[in-house]
């Protein structure tokens, strides 16, 4: 428990790497948390990428912009092998 008196715990979830990447996922519990998809007090923060819609409806082509999990615009660059290499 912390200075606020709430009990909390984080349980890391084992994720197998695919193509050299494995996201860091964990279940988080807080006794002050409400009900959610994982039960009362439990949550799981996940990474996400979304198409930017603040400039209108997405076109679903190369002109669309993508947003990272914190709302940052993702910019695609080319790596040395001409494969996409998204950066923020």
CA pair distance 2, 51, nearest whole angstrom: 38
pLDDT tens per residue across span 6-33: 999 999 989 888 878 877 889 999 999 9
The two structure tokens encoding residue 72: 């940052």
- Sign of the alpha-carbon dihedral angle for 60, 87, 22, 38: negative
Indicate the pTM of the whole model.
Answer: 0.51
Q: Domain locations in the chain? A: 1-46, 49-88
Q: How far is CA 33 from the centre of its chain?
A: 20
**In the predicted model, what is the mean pLDDT of the chain?**
83
Instruction: Determine the average pLDDT of the residues in 38-47.
Output: 88
């Amino acid at each position: 428990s912390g200075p606020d008196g709430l009990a909390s715990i984080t349980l890391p979830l084992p994720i197998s790497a695919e193509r050299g990447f494995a996201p860091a996922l964990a279940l988080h519990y807080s006794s002050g948390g409400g009900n959610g998809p994982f039960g009362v007090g439990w949550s799981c923060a996940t990474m996400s990428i979304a198409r930017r819609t603040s400039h209108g409806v997405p076109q679903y082509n190369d002109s669309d912009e993508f947003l990272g999990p914190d709302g940052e615009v993702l910019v695609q660059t080319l790596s040395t092998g001409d494969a996409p290499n998204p950066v923020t």
